[in-house]
Amino acid sequence: MADGTNEGCWIGFDLGGTKMLAVVFDSSFKPLGRDRKKTKGHLGAESGLERIVQTIREAMQDASVSDKQICGIGVGCPGPLDLNRGIILEAPNLGWKDVPIKQTLTKKFGCPAVIVNDVDAGVFGEYRFGAGRQERCVLGLFLGTGIGGGCVYEGKLFRGKTGSCMEIGHVQIMPAGPRSGTGRVGSLEAVASRLAIAAEAAQAAFRGQAPHLHELAGTDISQIRSGTLAAAIKASDRVIEQIVRDAAEKIGVVVAGMINVLAPDVVVLGGGLVEAMPQLFLDGVSGAVCRHVLASYADSYHIVPAELGDEAIVMGAAAWAATL
């Protein structure tokens, strides 16, 4: 808890698909207070904005800080986004369109506000405070239901003119592969995301090749989470381990291509899949990168797990706001 005398505070906000988290940081980015709520996207964008404001207010109360002490607010959002105007153009998981986050928060709190792609925020957090601390170039991949990417180059986030970029999950890796949720044929997300892994694992369970997974989750894809996959592998479902290794191999092929383009110092792997099975993904991705990266880059990078977990987005969003 803070004593109310802290100056120069920053707020980081994570607008997730099912939850929202607000954290108040001091000028050294030490947390002072926080609040977490369910997103409740079905209430609509107007109610969602009110809930965002309420969550920030309660985090400020927890930190014992006033509006005058807040220097800025950074919000990590799902996209697509208009970064310049601070608008969520569309958030399908929430059912929101054209939501003026920046304008609303600036008006409510009387301080600058900025939105940033949630994966970009997570990668920036790892660059400032985590596994990529102060490296020249940090490439980050967050592996979960989808596959998101971000890059910090000499202290700045890669971005487009008005929106975010680094959509690594939509890079095509199989010309005749399955379609992703966006309709892209053979994209990395279509063949190596948790959803893709769960679909293949469910088939293995149905065929009787993964008895432990079948006992844990049956063949219901929605019940096959990252932790479930890890538990099945630990219980000796070898076919599930091979499915995950195959996915890590595909991710490594794409990472090798990104290394050839960007020459990052560090590649940070994060997200639920990596948190549940860190060594398996590190080994699989690293092995594939070694086989596909240019020889001249062989000793130029490190592949490491993310360090900040759920805190990466709020820390990165707050720190990004402080740079602007």
pLDDT digits (tens, 9 = 90+) for 204-248: 999 999 999 999 999 999 999 999 999 999 999 999 999 999 999
Q: What is the pLDDT, as a whole number, of residue 66?
A: 96
Which strands sit side by side in the sheet containing 137-143, from one edge to the other? 156-157, 147-153, 137-143, 266-270, 302-305
How far apart (Å, rounded) are the C-alpha atoms in residues 169 and 103? 30
Q: Is the pLDDT of residue 7 over 80?
A: no
Q: Is the pLDDT of residue 254 over 90?
A: yes
Check for a shared fold between 9-124+311-323 and 133-305.
yes
Structure-token match 């990004």, residue found = 320
Q: Is the pLDDT of residue 5 over 70?
A: no
The domain 9-124+311-323 is placed in CATH, from the list 3.30.310.50, 3.30.420.40, 3.90.79.10, 3.40.50.620, at: 3.30.420.40
Domain edges within the chain: 9-124+311-323, 133-305
- Mean pLDDT in residue range 141-161: 95
- Mean pLDDT in residue range 82-90: 95
- Mean pLDDT in residue range 34-60: 88
Q: Is the pLDDT of residue 305 over 90?
A: yes
Q: Is the pLDDT of residue 40 over 70?
A: no
Q: What is the pLDDT, as a whole number, of residue 204?
A: 98
Given CA atoms 307, 310, 312, 318 in this order, what sign does their dihedral have? negative
Give percent of the chain with pLDDT exceeding 90: 85
Q: Is the pLDDT of residue 4 over 90?
A: no
- Nearest partner of 139 among 317, 147, 55, judged by Cα: 147
Q: Which CATH architecture has domain 133-305?
A: 2-Layer Sandwich (3.30)
What SS3 state is found at 184? coil
User: Which one-letter amino acid corresponds to residue 14?
Assistant: D
Structure tokens given for 202: 């469910």
pLDDT, mean over the chain: 94
